[in-house]
Each structure stands twice: as structure tokens, then as C-alpha cells.
Amino acid sequence: MRTEELQQEIREYAKEIGIDKIGFAAADVFSELKERLRRQQELEYQSGFEKGSIEERTEPQRLLPEAQSIISIAIAYPSRMKNAPKSRKGERRGLFARASWGLDYHDVLRERLEKLSAFIQEKVPDAVNKVMVDTGELSDRAVAERAGIGFSGKNTSIITPEFGSFVYLGEMITNIPFVPDSPVEDSCGDCRKCMDACPTGAIVEGGQLNAQNCIAFLTQTKGFLEDEYRFKLGNRVYGCDTCQQVCPKNKGIDFHIHPEFEPDPEVSKPKLIPMLRISNREFKEKFGPLSGSWRGKKPIQRNALIALGHYKDETAVPEMIEVMKNDPRPVIRGTAAWSLGKIGTEEAFAAIREAMELEKDDQVLFEMEKGLEFETLTITN
């Protein structure tokens, strides 16, 4: 069978199995990306979640020696939640970013790529394929850009003409020399809405992110969050969508093609108070299927405490006092103390003072002192 014919069959099959966009790229070295990664490393702008060495991340032959081309896929996810519950006084809610709505996309994309690989294998028995979604060494975005899936926006996301940037990406390196697709032209133009809207100024310049300042990264860290970021977190318990929400290319974009990615509002916009003392088993049952639970429950609970502080939710005070006094994890006790101070009721301040007498951990004691500092701020205001 001729490569072009096979390519056409692959495109049709991809559509059948729920792949929204597919593109083909050469497996050449990603030279521009290599330079960029070196620069990002020097500047300490990387998140630390990236896998592999710079060579492995930019030289497909290191991952599959017989690599000839790369097939890139994109699958659209919703941007609006149907029947989203209101975050009301006394019943405040957190928010998981859209990329964590529904089932974990890693499983969904991997399953579709495996199917595609089996299809190719049937047609070309000596085909060698290697499938990757997010956790592989390659930059899914650089591959997608080269394969004509979309262009790389100033917010660093791949923006497709059809589905905006609310798409997951994955790829398959293969030894078949497919005919490459043409890239999509960059159409950000003079727009810089994403850069202006970013709460932490993490988009240093168009297409360059300092991941260390990006809220999407910060929500996934496990230690104490620096104070300046606590004031920027809002109700985000996982991830951040701001630079995509403001993007004109996402205007009116809201695809509900795949039932797997339909959010359960009670899970993706969960009530905050019940999250504070959720058991490991309940957490696994409720949040385990989400991609956003990969770092476990601690970062999400820390963020939930900060979100309650952000809302100044007085009804959360008794539960937060329990957490501050009894949770075995210093990050959780300390963050509870800080957020109690931020809420600033008399009961909250009295409880911090009381807890300080028994607290042994220096970092937690420091957070308690900072929590009490809100009292002077409240009085002078």
C-alpha cells in the first residue's frame, strides 16, 4: 500500500475512534526547542515535571532508533460546565482546571493511540510505533505544532483553528515515513490578552513561561505556598485556565464530543469544607479518576484551605480549627492557621493562640504568627 493511501486510511480511522484532529510530522531533531529548553533551564524557568534529558526531549531517534515520523493527535475537551453549582456563602466551592474534568486524559488518549497503533500494525506488519501522552520525553506541543495541529500561542498553548486551545495532545513515533502536514500559521498578532490577564506575570514574553510562577504549577506543589501566591490562588484547587479563558481564539469554543470528559460538577467544582478532612479512601474514590489528583490529596487540601481564606468563609472556621490542631501534616496545619488568620474572626485568632501553645513544628509556628498578623491588619483597616 502506498504511504499516502495508508495516511488517508489512518485519518479516517482516527475519526472513527474519537480522535478529533490528527497530523503527521517528520521525526527530525527539534533544534529550536533544544535551544529554548537550554535557555529555560539556565533561567530556572522549568517546572521539574518534564521528563528526560534535553537530548531525549528533542531527538526522537533517541526514543525510537528507527523513527521516521511522528503522528500527533488532539482531542477536544469542554470549556463550560453544564449545571455548574454556585459557590455560595457558607458552601464555598473550589475549581479543578478544565484539563482535569472527567476521566484522566492520559488513559483516554493512550487507549486511542494504542488502537491507532494496532490499526497501523495490521496494515504494515513491520511497523514500529511508540506511543506517548504527556508523561513521555517529547514536547507534545512542539510535535503538534510541527504536525499542523495548531500554532503555539503567546500563552504557550497549542491553539487549533477548530477547537481552540482546549485540546489534549498525544503522539506516536513511528518508523513509517509519512508525508508531513503543513504547520498552522501563528495568528496571535498584536494581541497580548493572556499576558495581561495572567495573575502572576508568569508569561515572561510571548511564548515563554516561567513555570515556577505559573499557578498551574504552584497548585501541584506539596510544600508551603509562598504568601504572594496565596493571594493569587482564588478558588483554584488544581491548575489554572485564565490565559486560555481570555484568549479570543477560544471565544465561543465549548466542545462536548467525548462523554469521558464531561465533568461531574460535585467533583470538578467541589464543596471546600468536606475536602479538609476527607479520608484517603474517599479521596481516591471521588478524585482518583481525575488527572488532577496525580499528586495526591495534600496539595489539593492545602489549596482548599487557601480558597476558604480567599472567600473569608466564616462557616469554615470550626472545621479549619480542627485541622490546624489535629492534622498530622505540618503544611496542612500551617496553611490552616494562615487562612484562619485571613478569615479573621475572634474565634479564629483565639484558636491560633491556643494552638501555638502546643505546636512543636517551627514552620507551623511561623505560619501561626503570620496568621495572627492579620489581626493587626484588621484593626488598623
Told to check if 47 binds ligand B12 by CB under 6 A, we report yes
Told to check if 194 binds ligand SF4 by CB under 6 A, we report yes
The DSSP line for 24-43 is EEE----HHHHHHHHHHHHT
**DSSP strand pairing (21-26 vs 95-96):** unpaired
d(CA 242, CA 232): 12
Q: How far is the CB of 240 from ligand B12 (least distance, A)?
A: 5
Told to check if 49 binds ligand B12 by CB under 6 A, we report yes
Helices in 152-296 by DSSP H: which ranges? 193-197, 215-218, 227-230, 242-245, 265-268, 280-287
Q: Looking at 51-59, 148-156, 332-340, 360-368, which segment touches ligand SF4 (CB under 6 A)?
A: 148-156
Told to check if 63 binds ligand SF4 by CB under 6 A, we report no
Whichever of 9 and 50 has its CB closer to ligand B12, that residue is: 50
Whichever of 96 and 119 has its CB closer to ligand SF4, that residue is: 96
Grid cell listed for 335: 496553611
Nearest CA among 259, 234, 214 for reference residue 94: 234
Distances in whole angstroms, Cα of residue 84 to Cα of each of 87, 258, 264, 265: 9, 18, 9, 6
**Is there a contact between 320 and 367 (Cβ–Cβ < 8 Å)?**
no
Q: Which of ligand B12, ligand SF4, none does 136 bind, CB closer than 5 to 8 A by kind?
A: ligand B12
Whichever of 112 and 269 has its CB closer to ligand SF4, that residue is: 269
By CB under 6 A, the residues from 150 to 189 that bind ligand SF4 are 153-155, 188
Instruction: Kindly name the residue from 104, 134, 313, 327 that is annotated as catalytic.
Output: 134
d(CA 199, CA 204): 12
Residues annotated as binding site?
57, 134, 139-141, 152, 155, 158, 169, 188, 191, 194, 198, 214, 220, 222, 240-241, 243, 247, 280-281, 295, 297-298
**Is there a contact between 308 and 343 (Cβ–Cβ < 8 Å)?**
yes
Distances in whole angstroms, Cα of residue 64 to Cα of each of 143, 253, 287: 15, 36, 35
Query: Number of residues in contact with ligand SF4, rule: CB under 6 A?
Result: 24
Told to check if 36 binds ligand B12 by CB under 6 A, we report yes
Chain residue whose CB lies nearest ligand SF4:
153
Q: Which of 70, 73, 99, 198 binds ligand SF4 (CB under 6 A)?
A: 198
Block residue for cell numbers 482564588:
234
**Is there a contact between 92 and 131 (Cβ–Cβ < 8 Å)?**
no
Angle formed at CA 340 by CA 310 and CA 353, multiple of 5 degrees: 160
Q: How many CB atoms lie within 10 A of CB 238?
A: 24
**DSSP strand pairing (203-205 vs 236-238):** unpaired
Q: How far is the CB of 377 from ligand SF4 (least distance, A)?
A: 26
Please tell me the number of Cα atoms within 13 Å of 371 on its side-chain side.
Answer: 35
Told to check if 147 binds ligand B12 by CB under 6 A, we report no
Interface characters, 174-193, with ligand B12 (x: CB under 6 A): --------------------
d(CA 292, CA 198): 21
Whichever of 184 and 324 has its CB closer to ligand B12, that residue is: 184
Whichever of 72 and 335 has its CB closer to ligand B12, that residue is: 72
Interface characters, 58-97, with ligand B12 (x: CB under 6 A): ---------------------------------------x
Which stretch of DSSP H or E encloses residue 336?
helix 330-343
134 is catalytic: yes
d(CA 339, CA 39): 37
Q: Which residues bind ligand B12 (CB under 6 A)?
A: 32-33, 36-37, 40, 47, 49-50, 97, 99, 133-134, 136, 139-142, 145, 152, 155-158, 165, 167-170, 207-209, 211, 214, 216-217, 239-241, 243
Residues with catalytic function: 134
Q: Which residues bind ligand SF4 (CB under 6 A)?
A: 153-155, 188, 191-194, 198-200, 202-203, 209, 214-216, 240, 242-243, 246-249
